[in-house]
């Protein structure tokens, strides 16, 4: 059974953190969020296949699971023949994870450590493989990628492996008039009153939801690629200039973003996408509504830039700026604007 004193010490650690960090780690104490992630078959099976189908990579290796949660990835690695797996998590869910590891007969292969990766000291000086499910909405929201990079820089042996090791963010334009009217236009007339001051607030909050592939009006554009072997925390704040090309005559009400993940070390490369063209994942897609409605014809181009940076007060939140410019021979169709978004 879990030592009650250890749980109390962990709770005190959490309470000593600032409010934003407390909120983040406490959110992973709850059963529901882990159930949602485990039931996400795209996510969980991709990790499972990347590990158990590559036993030649894991056999007799020392593995580090960063943000181990309920221990599912650690157990995959142990079953793949790892010599030993060290899982680290600040959330108190780790105490349940220890029980799960024990009832599955893997306590001799897996050691779970409660604490922040940046503050604990592993019992070993280096590890052969790092595994982690670190992605958040829009890839980087509330993500723990900087923690994975810390683990890489401090523990990964030269030539060691990272699972997964590549992430790409994509953006496209979508027609979403009905929902935009429901979400944004609603504030123009609220029981006969003008609530337009709240319209700006509504526009500044990106929507995390599933997007129908039929609404996608433009070709997708890659705005960021991260190689986890070489990227740095500085790369998590980025600006991308890009051009969206209309596939058909339609309207663009918003931009939609999603990400792809790759495990390229595998004998047979494994990847998954969180886009509107693929099977549902709990990450869904992220929608950024524009102030203007762009009326585009097939082949016409919209010039855009997206600037993403961690919020100064809470690095797990994101401040995102989107600039767009649509030039058209018909001045009534031309549009230019800047939108500021906060993911918090």
Active site residue ranges: 133, 142
- Whether the CB-CB separation of 144 and 132 falls below 8 Å is answered with yes
Which phi and psi (to 5°) does residue 313 adopt?
-85, -30
Give the separation between CA 292 and CA 299, rounded to whole angstroms.
Answer: 19
Place of tokens 């102030």: 291
> Which one, of 282, 235, 239, lies nearest residue 259 by Cα?
282
Q: DSSP 3-state assignment of 98?
A: helix
Q: How many CB atoms lie within 10 A of CB 164?
A: 24
Give the separation between CA 238 and CA 70, rounded to whole angstroms.
Answer: 32
Distance from the Cα of residue 271 to its chain's centroid: 15
Give the separation between CA 206 and CA 184, rounded to whole angstroms.
Answer: 12
Distance from the Cα of residue 33 to its chain's centroid: 14
- Whether the CB-CB separation of 307 and 233 falls below 8 Å is answered with no
């Amino acid at each position: 059974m879990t030592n009650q004193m250890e749980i109390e010490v962990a709770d005190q650690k959490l309470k000593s953190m600032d409010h934003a960090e407390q909120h983040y780690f406490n959110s992973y104490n709850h059963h529901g969020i882990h159930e949602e992630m485990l039931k996400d078959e795209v996510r969980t099976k991709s990790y499972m296949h990347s590990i158990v189908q590559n036993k030649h990579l894991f056999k007799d290796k020392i593995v580090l699971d960063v943000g181990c949660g309920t221990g599912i990835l650690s157990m995959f690695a142990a079953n793949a023949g790892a010599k030993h797996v060290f899982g680290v998590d600040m959330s108190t869910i780790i105490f349940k994870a220890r029980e799960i590891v024990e009832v599955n007969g893997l306590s001799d292969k897996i050691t779970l450590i409660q604490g922040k990766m940046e503050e604990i000291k592993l019992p070993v000086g280096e590890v052969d493989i790092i595994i982690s499910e670190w992605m958040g909405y829009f890839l980087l929201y509330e993500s723990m990628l900087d923690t994975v990079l810390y683990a890489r820089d401090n523990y990964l042996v030269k030539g060691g492996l990272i699972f997964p090791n590549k992430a790409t963010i994509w953006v496209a334009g979508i027609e979403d008039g009905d929902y935009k009217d429901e979400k944004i236009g609603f504030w123009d007339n609220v029981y006969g009153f003008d609530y337009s001051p709240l319209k700006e607030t509504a526009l500044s909050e990106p929507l995390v939801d599933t997007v129908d592939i039929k609404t996608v009006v433009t070709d997708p554009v890659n705005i960021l690629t991260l190689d986890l072997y070489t990227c740095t925390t500085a790369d998590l704040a980025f600006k991308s200039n890009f051009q969206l090309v209309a596939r058909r005559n339609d309207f663009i009400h918003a931009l939609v973003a999603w990400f792809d993940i790759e495990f390229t070390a595998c004998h047979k490369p494994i990847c998954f996408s969180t886009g509107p063209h693929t099977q549902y994942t709990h990450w869904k897609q992220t929608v950024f509504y524009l102030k203007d409605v762009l009326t585009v014809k097939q082949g016409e181009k919209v010039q855009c830039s997206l600037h993403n940076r961690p919020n100064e007060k809470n690095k797990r939140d994101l401040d995102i700026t989107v600039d767009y410019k649509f030039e058209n021979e018909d001045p009534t169709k031309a549009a230019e604007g800047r939108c500021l978004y906060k993911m918090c």
